[in-house]
């Protein structure tokens, strides 16, 4: 199963296209970002980034497609977090009313 941290690492790296900057933004080491991306790629069975020592990294075609879905997944996780917190405060949820049909 894909982990939230892997999706966040992927999106951050896709936005920065630089391992060190992505690591700085996430507050983790560069090697940790690399490990998260490698695990994600292994899980998906596809390479998400083109890596070349002489050029900047870039997204593969699969990476570009996955980025759209990863961004949507992060938005949905944020929404779920907000709704869960609102429900805990009693600001969201369901109210059920029933009547007996008698007057």
Which one, of 22, 3, 86, lies nearest residue 94 by Cα? 86
Residue 36 has pLDDT above 80, yes or no: yes
Ordered by where they begin, the domains of the chain are: 4-88 (1.10.10.10)
- Reply yes or no on whether the pLDDT at 98 is more than 80: no
At a CB cut-off of 8 Å and minimum separation 6, what does 17 contact?
Answer: 56, 57, 58, 59
Can you give the pLDDT at residue 94?
A: 75
Residue 99 reports pLDDT greater than 80: no
State residue 38's pLDDT score: 97
pTM value? 0.83
Query: What pLDDT is attached to residue 103?
Result: 64
With vertex at residue 17, the alpha carbon angle to CA 42 and CA 41, rounded to the nearest 5 degrees, is 5
Average pLDDT of span 35-48: 98
CB atoms within 10 A of CB 8: 19
Specify whether the CB–CB gap between 92 and 86 falls below 8 A: yes
Q: Where are the alpha helices (DSSP H) in 1-103?
A: 4-16, 19-26, 30-44, 61-88
Query: What is the pLDDT at residue 18?
Result: 94
Quick check: 91 pLDDT over 90? no
pLDDT of 83 reads: 87
Task: Confirm if 13 and 49 have CB atoms less than 8 A apart.
Answer: yes
Residue 9: band (very low, low, confident or very high) from pLDDT cuts 50, 70, 90: very high
Q: What is the pLDDT averaged over residues 72-81?
A: 94
């Amino acid at each position: 199963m894909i982990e939230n941290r892997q999706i966040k690492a992927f999106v951050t790296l896709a936005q920065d296209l630089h391992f060190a900057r992505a690591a700085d933004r996430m507050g983790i080491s560069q090697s940790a970002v690399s490990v998260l991306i490698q695990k994600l790629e292994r899980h998906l069975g596809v390479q998400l980034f083109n890596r070349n020592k002489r050029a900047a990294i870039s997204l593969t075609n699969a990476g570009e497609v996955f980025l759209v879905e990863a961004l949507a997944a992060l938005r949905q996780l944020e929404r779920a977090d907000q709704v869960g917190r609102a429900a805990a405060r009693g600001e969201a949820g369901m109210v059920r009313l029933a009547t007996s049909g008698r007057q």
